[in-house]
Structure 1
Amino acid sequence: MRFDRFGGPEVLTEADLPDPVAGPGETLAEVEAAGVNFGDIKQIAGEQTAGPYASKGRPPRIPGLEVVGRTTGGQRVLGYVPQGGYAAKTVVADRDLVAIPEPVSAGEALALLIQGLTA
């Protein structure tokens, strides 16, 4: 999902884009689930210009701050991303990535990251 202009949920559209490429210190993850957070809504609306949910540029963009996914090696992971979580694949900085056990559901893992740290 991406947005080409700021607004509400109606600006989100499906897009077929090339897979991102991980650089040094990064991991490519196939996204199983993405969190939907206050920060995502603010970024899509274009309302946040500073602070922890600061918009990282102008549209077009792929929103999404947190994901559960699998690395190319098959490891299940939870990761924080400044953008790109609403994609089929995303790149996560290794420092923002943790392995999660198979029995932990995607929803449980996502609840631990942004929402858990906020609590």
Structure 2
Amino acid sequence: MAVNLNATILADQARILNDMAGLARVAGAAPAAGDAQGAESFAQAMMAAVHDVDAQNRAAGDKMAEVDSGASDDLVGAMMMSQEASLSFSMLMQVRNKVVAAVDDLLKMPI
């Protein structure tokens, strides 16, 4: 059990590092100001993140429903999926808060 949990944690860490590297590539490849593709690219990245978090939440809900109905006895797996979905949602909300704060700061800048 401990070995399996450790492998899961390492896999999650690797996925997070890959996601961070992907975001760094997107941020590094940002086009110059006034280019419409930059806005589309950011919007697409945010929509992909929202869809990913939604998919995790739905999968966790399905897993919990299976446990509740007795179709599965993997309570630990269901709880881990639920916690992962919760953490993903919290991370998405923090990113949203940072983006909103940055836009707010930009709007407050003197011209």
Q: Classify the TM-score, shorter chain.
A: under 0.3
Q: Name the one with the larger strand percent.
A: 1
Query: TM-score w.r.t. structure 2 length?
Result: 0.23
Bigger relative CO (Cα 8 Å, ≥ 6 apart): 1
**So what's the TM-score if we normalise by structure 1?**
0.22
Say which one has the larger Rg. Answer: 2
Greater percentage in helix: 2
